[in-house]
Amino acid sequence: MNKIKIGTRGSKLALWQAYHVQTLLKAKNIESEIIPFETKGDKILDVSIAKIGSKGVFTEEIEEQLAAGIIDIAVHSAKDMQSELPDGFELIAFTERELVNDVLLSKNKEANLNQPNIVIGTSSTRRVSMLRHLYPHVKTVPVRGNLQTRIARMEEGTCDALLLAYAGMYRMGYSSLMVQKLSIDEFTPAVGQGSITVECCTSLDPAIKSAVKNAVTHAPSESRLICERAFLRKLQGGCSIPVFGLATLNNNEITIKGGVVSLDGKEIIRKEITGQISDAETIGTKLAEEVLAAGGDRILKEIRVELEG
User: Residues with catalytic annotation?
Assistant: 80
**Residue 2 carries which DSSP code?**
P
According to DSSP H, which parts of the chain are helical?
12-27, 40-43, 49-52, 60-68, 125-134, 147-155, 166-171, 206-216, 219-235, 280-291, 297-308
Three-state DSSP class for 90?
strand
Distance of alpha carbon 81 from alpha carbon 199, whole angstroms: 10
- Cβ burial, residue 262 (10 Å; 0-12/13-18/19+): buried
Burial of 87 (0-12, 13-18, 19+ CB in 10 A): exposed
> By C-alpha distance, which of 121, 112, 171 is closest to 145?
121
Which of 252, 250, 198, 247 has the alpha carbon at shortest distance from 224?
A: 247
The amino acid that residue 85 corresponds to is: L
Half-sphere exposure of 254 (CA within 13 A, CB side): 25
